[in-house]
Amino acid sequence: MNKPVLVAHGERPREGGPDRKEVEVAVGVLLRPDGAFLLTSRPPGKVYEGYWEFPGGKVEAGETVEQALRRELHEEIGLTIGAVHPWKVERVDYPHALVRLNFCKVFDWQGELQMHEGQAFAWETLPVQVAPVLPGTVPVLQWFADERRFTGATHSGAG
């Protein structure tokens, strides 16, 4: 049974129509020992510019998810990652693309963060302080909340 697709901004038309190809994406969930996780902003000039997400990118032809993740994180943020731990998969139907997000936890890396595409970064904990968050990132925050039995408000203003 196929898991339902998360539809982002359903009121907008879908580029490529109903038969468009699904894009495979490798996503890195970098976790520090203190539990903080890395979010980066979408670079200037890209779709959803300024939205916050976990870093990663498209899996190219002939690449595995792990190979793509290693390449993307090195290209985008200057890190060489250690072991890749496949975690969860989420399908998201964005107006511009139908994507299959392969979320992988990464606990160890080398290098200093360098934002090669002009994006910003933030080490976050729940509830996240950055906004807006990309729709495909929202389920991950819920998974963290479930894993960590986080019961606090997921938005500011509630106590």
pLDDT at residue 151, as a whole number: 63
| pLDDT of 154 above 60 | no
Strands 22-30 and 98-106: parallel
pLDDT at residue 158, as a whole number: 33
**pTM of this structure:** 0.89
Which amino acid appears at position 77 of this protein?
I
Select the more confidently predicted residue: 11 or 141: 141
Worst-scoring range by mean pLDDT, 18-27, 53-62, 109-118, 129-138?
18-27
Select the more confidently predicted residue: 76 or 15: 76
* Percent share of the chain, pLDDT over 70: 91
Rounded-to-integer distance, Cα 154 and Cα 147, Å: 15
Select the more confidently predicted residue: 22 or 159: 22
Residue 109, SS3 per DSSP = strand
CATH classification of 6-148, choosing from 3.90.79.10, 2.60.120.620, 3.30.420.40, 3.90.1170.50? 3.90.79.10
- Tell me the pLDDT tens digit for each residue of 113-123: 999 999 999 99
CB 48 within 8 A of CB 40: no
